Amino acid sequence: MRSAQRAGQSEFFKGAAVPRPLCGDYGAAGVMSRTIIIGDLHGCAAELDALLERIAHAAGDRVYCVGDLVARGPDGMGVLRILRQVGARSVLGNHDAKLRAIRPRKGKKPVDKVPNALAGVYDKLKSEDWDLFDALPLYLDLPEHELRIVHAGVVPKVPIDEQDPWVLTNLRSFDEAGKPSSKWNEVTWAATYHERPHIVFGHDARSRLQIHECATGIDTGCVYGAELTALVLPAATPAPSRAERRDVLFSVPARAAYADLNAGS
């Protein structure tokens, strides 16, 4: 594990402020910093470490996550440790929302049973870890790349500040009546999105990598035994066209299948 060799030991994201632009921002040895957006981690720390090594993460690189940081997988605390080491920022995932909903709080009755997907980290989280999840925003705008990060999706033609939080953290498709749905469908919500900014999202492991004209889905099912994927953009560069986007997508294989994809969302 080479994470200790990485630079950029800033604190993990603590609020919903828009990250400062990368244009003209230089990292180590005068190299312009990149933006690295990583798919659903689900506690896959070894794969996160391998992915950062594969893309040669360096000081000055900005790391973002699409949420679902610790649930289901084998080493949620390891994921948090690595993300802190690289100064990463993340949006809120549906499992992150479930986790912070059962945070032990003064005057609040403890939960009767911790969901299985969260049991591996629940008793290990310290106060600063709980605060981290409380602070995760529903979306992050990266204007220098003309893109927005959300966990699951958006309803087209609805302003971001009018989007239902459930949609941002759970959407996968639209039902026959056109209503937002968390159910998988061959036609995903992103296939109906033809707007700007470009959306980078996760949450849909069954669909694997999604490359649409105005959206990129990077949940490639690492916790289910597939791959962990990152979108890597040079400074001040928008997402490439569909034909060229695979050139900026990088993946590493999962070391094992840690969960069953058919066991629920």
Q: Worst-scoring range by mean pLDDT, 7-11, 66-70, 77-81, 200-204?
A: 7-11
179 found inside a domain: yes
What strand order describes the sheet that includes 62-65?
A: 89-90, 62-65, 34-38, 227-234, 249-253
195 found inside a domain: yes
Q: How many domains does the chain contain in total? A: 1
pLDDT score of 20 more than 70: no
pLDDT score of 6 more than 60: no
Q: What does the pLDDT look like over 68-100, one tens digit per residue?
A: 999 999 999 999 999 999 999 999 999 999 999
264 found inside a domain: no
pLDDT score of 233 more than 50: yes
Q: What does the pLDDT look like over 112-148, one tens digit per residue?
A: 888 888 999 999 999 999 999 999 999 999 999 999 9
Q: What does the pLDDT look like over 176-201, one tens digit per residue?
A: 999 999 999 999 999 999 999 999 99
Percent of the chain exceeding pLDDT 90 equals: 80
CA dist 41 to 85, 118, 157, Å?
16, 13, 29
User: pTM higher than 0.85 for the full model?
Assistant: yes
What is the mean predicted confidence (pLDDT) over 46-75? 97
229 found inside a domain: yes
Q: Which domain holds residue 115?
A: 3-257
| CA dist., res. 92 & res. 137, Å (int) | 6
Percent of the chain exceeding pLDDT 70 equals: 87
Residue 264 pLDDT: 61
42 found inside a domain: yes
CA dist 257 to 32, 33, 120, Å?
36, 33, 16
Q: Worst-scoring range by mean pLDDT, 4-13, 119-128, 161-170?
A: 4-13
12 found inside a domain: yes
Q: How confident is the model at residue 15 (pLDDT cuts 50, 70, 90)?
A: very low
Look up the CATH number of the domain holding residue 180: 3.60.21.10
